[in-house]
Structure 1
């Protein structure tokens, strides 16, 4: 099968800082690096490095061919990444000594893809293919509806979190992916427990505490631990997890096995600086699981 990803593509500007700046505080960065990022691009790279066939749908600006080249070099099909007049999306990221980060994003070309272009890209999709979505683009509901009508399984990452965006896309979602903070915010906004939401499955990532797969209605829960590591940079860890998870599901692994694969990949990724550039290959992940 195939993974389709209508997702963001960003140029990441990453500043190494001693701690996250407080409101009104000015701090000096020790280093600046540039790399490929965006939740969409990160997930596409992760799924491709996990061994899946991945088609990315999105946009870049006149300054963005380098990002398309990076995606292609990672094994992602970029035929549906279109250049436009708006600048490529970018992110300003601070990474503190403990590996935690803060991120400010500018959508740019990520907000320029039309429903017609999404429909054209998905015309080659088949039933039971996966469509990955995140809240860093426009037209998420339209993309999810088109995919659902074609019989695709929609995997939606509710980040950056917005309760109304989640509410709008939920009727078409097969798997809703959130971290524990986003899950708490969603239950508060909707006034309902996760087990009562009207989606087939929910994944909650809990950082160093692992992840839970929840099946609403039945209340079934599958949990996996996270390998114990010392993080260098947590930027893109959740995207690495989601991309590897999607690849595992795409090849028929049950949730627990796909989650264990994803957890191993994320554990390697956080031990390296960067987002997409830090995502490990499948060989590296498999080797780490046999050590």
Structure 2
């Protein structure tokens, strides 16, 4: 089994600040670091570190060779990551305050120019029962979901950065949808349909410090958050998603998938960074909360 992730790859630039800047404010940072990120790359790394065969489908610019190397070091299959000579790789400028909260500015770069033939080549290798994972930091989502559905893949969508129209377009193809509480409310307003009635088999609504809610066949189950002191919340949701789908790929019941992902996400917020610090399965199993 494998998880094919049509996803973004970014260079994340972290700026440590005393508080998140307001409109028109000039603020001195106390530190800056560069790391591997992008919601797609984060989820691929999380899935790989959770024990899945994660195949990343994406693109970087000529400045992104280091990012491909990092993905490979984390165990991600990068055969379907294109290098584009005429565009920069995606970038994220992330400010993180003393409480671990963040604000993010994105440059799409190569993430919005993934060649269609790269996507088609990757999906041509997939087998029924494999997973296609997507987020809203790339294009060609509907076309890819349609192909995956016809091939018998489990189609998963992390609805962020949230756009109601983008989410509505892929809904008919989805088996799995994950979004936060605010995004769930926005989607309900846009569709005039409650999340449990969207026709998606598994819907997970993340609730921040309150945990997560799983909606399945008309029933709901809540999972409490682990008691931790956050250092940096960046990438925690991506870690959660990668772990859920990796555990499902190993045929664990969804309740166990979510419980494991809750632990991974909790451990992630105690670390500074994104893909480079996503915990592996051994870390998660041994963590004490």
TM-score, with structure 1 as normaliser: 0.97
Distance in 1, Cα, partners of 2:19 & 2:117: 44
Question: In 1, are the aligned partners of 2:63 and 2:89 still within 8 Å (CA)?
Answer: yes
Deviation at 1:212, TM superposition (A): 1.0
Question: In 1, are the aligned partners of 2:82 and 2:118 still within 8 Å (CA)?
Answer: no
Which residue is equivalent to 1:46? 46
Distance in 2, Cα, partners of 1:148 & 1:223: 29
Gaps of 5+ in 2: none
Deviation at 1:194, TM superposition (A): 1.2
Which residue is equivalent to 2:207? 206
Any runs of at least 4 consecutive aligned residues in structure 1 with deviations exceeding 4 A, and if so which?
none
Question: In 2, are the aligned partners of 1:223 and 1:256 still within 8 Å (CA)?
Answer: no
List aligned pairs for 1:216-231, cutoff 5 A.
218-231=217-230
Which residue is equivalent to 1:116? 117
Deviation at 1:117, TM superposition (A): 2.1
Distance in 2, Cα, partners of 1:25 & 1:237: 28
Which residue is equivalent to 2:245? 246
Deviation at 1:116, TM superposition (A): 2.8
Deviation at 1:263, TM superposition (A): 0.7
Distance in 1, Cα, partners of 2:32 & 2:267: 22
Deviation at 1:86, TM superposition (A): 1.2
Instruction: Name the SS for the 2:80 alignment partner.
Output: strand
Question: In 2, are the aligned partners of 1:40 and 1:133 still within 8 Å (CA)?
Answer: yes
* CA-to-aligned-CA distance 1:99-148 (integer Å, 9 cap, x gap): 11111111100011133321111111000101110000011111111111
Which residue is equivalent to 1:167? 168
Distance in 1, Cα, partners of 2:174 & 2:162: 16
Q: Does 1:285 align with 2:284?
A: yes
CA RMSD of aligned residues (A): 1.0
Deviation at 1:193, TM superposition (A): 1.2
Distance in 2, Cα, partners of 1:100 & 1:152: 36
Gaps of 5+ in 1: none
Question: In 1, are the aligned partners of 2:62 and 2:87 still within 8 Å (CA)?
Answer: yes
Which residue is equivalent to 1:260? 259
* CA-to-aligned-CA distance 1:173-199 (integer Å, 9 cap, x gap): 110110111111111222221122122
Which residue is equivalent to 1:20? 20
Instruction: Name the SS for the 2:185 alignment partner.
Output: helix
> 79-88 or 110-119, which moves further after superposition?
110-119
